[in-house]
Chains A and B, each alone.
Chain A
Amino acid sequence: LAKTTQPISMDSYEGQEVNITCSHNNIATNDYITWYQQFPSQGPRFIIQGYKTKVTNEVASLFIPADRKSSTLSLPRVSLSDTAVYYCLVVPNYGGATNKLIFGTGTLLAVQP
């Protein structure tokens, strides 16, 4: 399974756009890139998933360059409630796979007033 590398922590202010970049140099053809968010005392929550180019939903955007060796999670106009740990994961998609999620230590995003 492809290993991911992301910053340990980031700081931001309310109203700013936050971009968290993740590298996954060994990503395989069948792998998808998935981001989860985790608040204290809660389980991780799915944010967004993509394979290539750009994916956008009501929460975030995910940018994936052509070589797919990295990806960037973009959170528009963050608020204090976006303070959380953000995990970048590479998830294989092939028949019969366990699809256990391999989490790293994530990026702790701290949003200040």
Chain B
Amino acid sequence: GAGVSQTPSNKVTEKGKYVELRCDPISGHTALYWYRQSLGQGPEFLIYFQGTGAADDSGLPNDRFFAVRPEGSVSTLKIQRTERGDSAVYLCASSSSEGTDTQYFGPGTRLTVL
């Protein structure tokens, strides 16, 4: 079946602009996660959704970052007033529920802020 998909695969923007990154989880997966990965580092947790609600947003670095999942499926990560330090690969993962269920990752969106 289809895995987690993310669009766009690459996004180049200018400092100060607004960007939206989209994640389509595996159908039926109730849990959705966003991570950010900088070069040479492991992924870093940003936010977790269970259904439509953000159950844990403790990883969001500041209030320029926001994510939604209005219908409990597709999620959008929104970044306002982008900064060069926001450049990274943004990864989305989904799992069927909480607990130790496997998280399935998408290929990521590479964001470059010029």
Identify the A interface with B (CB < 8 A): 32, 34, 41-46, 49, 85, 87, 91, 93, 95-106
Contact = CB atoms under 8 A, between A and B. Distances in A.
B43 interface: yes
A103 to B, nearest CB: 3
Nearest to B3: A43
Nearest to B44: A103
Interface in B26-46: 31, 33, 35, 40-45
Contacts, number: 68
B41 A42 contact: no
B45 A102 contact: yes
B19 interface: no
Contacts of A104: 42
A101 B98 contact: no
B100 A44 contact: no
A99 B98 contact: yes
> Closest 8 CB pairs between A and B?
A43-B105, A103-B42, A100-B45, A98-B56, A46-B102, A93-B100, A98-B48, A32-B100
Nearest to B105: A43
A31 to B, nearest CB: 9
Contacts of B59: 100
B95 to A, nearest CB: 8
A43 B100 contact: no
Interface string B84-96: 0000000111010
Given A43-B106, A43-B107, A105 B40 contact: yes
B65 interface: no
- Please indicate which of the listed interface residues B40, B45, B95, B100 has the most CB atoms of chain A within 10 Å of its own CB: B100
Contact of B98 (A42, A43, A97, A105): A97
A105 B42 contact: yes
Contacts of A42: 105, 107-108
Contact of A43 (B45, B48, B93): B93
A98 B44 contact: no
